[in-house]
Amino acid sequence: MRALIIDDSRALRAIVAKLVKGLGFEVLEAGNGREGLEQLKSQGAVDLSLVDWNMPDMNGIQFIQAVRAQEQYNDMKLMVITTQTEIDHITEALESGANEYLMKPFTKEALLTKLEMLGIVNP
């Protein structure tokens, strides 16, 4: 299993990477949506992408829309991890093609629960 973590915060990428590596994932990282698309193009599809909303150059929603427009990524699970807590933001993320939504700050248990809901890990 491979995961792509996209966040402009290097610290948050490191925290999330440690959590998902502990679940057995190989981890790729990117600092914004454009870098995320470049990772997919050079490294191939991943099973899971954990995407921040607010990033420079290409935000998380733009990344999700770009991924969902490409058939080869149809099976990829996309989770937005963000400080955006308004219901309108959650709705926009899900309508754009995200499979799940997790609000920062979050616990390891909250992330694990979301991954279980996506069928990525077993309870």
The domain limits of the chain are 2-117
Domain 2-117: give its CATH superfamily: Response regulator (3.40.50.2300)
SS3 (DSSP) at 102: strand
In this prediction, residue 70 carries a pLDDT of 96
Burial 61-75 (b: 16+ CB within 10 A, else e): bbbbbbbeeeeebee
pLDDT at 123 over 80: no
Please give the average per-residue pLDDT across 59-80, as a whole number. 97
Nearest by Cα to 94 from 38, 44, 45, 53: 53
The HSE-up count of residue 62 (CA atoms within 13 Å, CB side) is 12
In this prediction, residue 94 carries a pLDDT of 95
At residue 121 the predicted structure's pLDDT band, cuts being 50, 70 and 90, is confident
Counting residues of the chain whose pLDDT is more than 90, the rounded percentage is 89
Nearest by Cα to 6 from 44, 69, 62: 62
d(CA 48, CA 4): 6
Please give the average per-residue pLDDT across 38-55, as a whole number. 96
Nearest by Cα to 16 from 100, 78, 106: 106
